[in-house]
Amino acid sequence: MHAIRARQIESTVVAAASALFAAAVAFACLSLARALANLAPVSLGALTAACALLAFVACRQMLAAIDGAPPTYSVNPFDVSEIEPMPAGEELVLTDADRVDPAPLELDDVLAELPADSRVVRLFDPRSMPTPGQLRARIDDHLRGAKEPVPAPDASQDLFDALAELRRSLR
């Protein structure tokens, strides 16, 4: 980005920040003056405008003072001439001789060894899912206002125990 364009953007941001601060100060002055003094609307407006102008100028001056400060870190200049060019023909070329045979990947199916009564395995058992006809009957009963079926017993503790057993078997 060109330096002139960067300066313009920074100047715009400083002006916007100063204006926002001035607006906040003006609102605070207006609220305070209304609460404490019984001033005419003209003097109230003049007081608010004076506070806003003072806040804008003060904020702009503070931000300008911060902007003009020298950087607190030093950057060494980068000298391009220190890089040695690589002669042609010496680049790294990989061939089939450079290939390494990977070790065979062994996968163990831990779920195959779980007991038959494990609820973790049965959570997604298609045989325990209701058929479309059963689902439709439940929906029709609900729409007719029939009592809801008795909810299934809470099996969260059994699920917790099964997950704990699974964690133990993986260690």
Task: Dump pLDDT digits (tens) for 32-48.
Answer: 888 887 777 778 888 88
Domain end, chosen from 38, 67, 96, is at: 67
- Pair 61, 116 in one domain: no
Domain end, chosen from 15, 44, 67, is at: 67
Instruction: Please give the span between the terminal C-alpha atoms of the chain, in angstroms, as a whole number.
Output: 56
- Note whether residue 73 is domain-resident: no
Strands (E) located in the chain: none
Q: Provide the residue range defining the domain that includes 16.
A: 3-67
Burial track 103-119 (b if 16+ CB lie within 10 A, e otherwise): eeeeeeeeeeebeeebe
How many independent structural domains does the chain possess? 2
Mean pLDDT over 14-18 rounds to 92
Mean pLDDT check: name the lowest of 56-65, 73-82, 91-100, 137-146.
Answer: 73-82
- Note whether residue 156 is domain-resident: yes
- Provide the pLDDT for residue 18: 93
- Note whether residue 44 is domain-resident: yes
User: Does residue 50 sit in helix, strand or coil?
Assistant: helix
- Note whether residue 61 is domain-resident: yes
- Provide the pLDDT for residue 43: 80
- Provide the pLDDT for residue 132: 87
- Pair 62, 9 in one domain: yes
- Note whether residue 166 is domain-resident: yes
- The DSSP code sequence of 150-164 is PPPPP-HHHHHHHHH
- Provide the pLDDT for residue 23: 93
Residue of higher predicted confidence among 18 and 82:
18
Domain end, chosen from 15, 34, 67, is at: 67
- Provide the pLDDT for residue 106: 78
- Provide the pLDDT for residue 83: 67
Residue of higher predicted confidence among 28 and 118:
28
pLDDT tens across 49-71, in order? 999 999 999 999 998 888 766 66
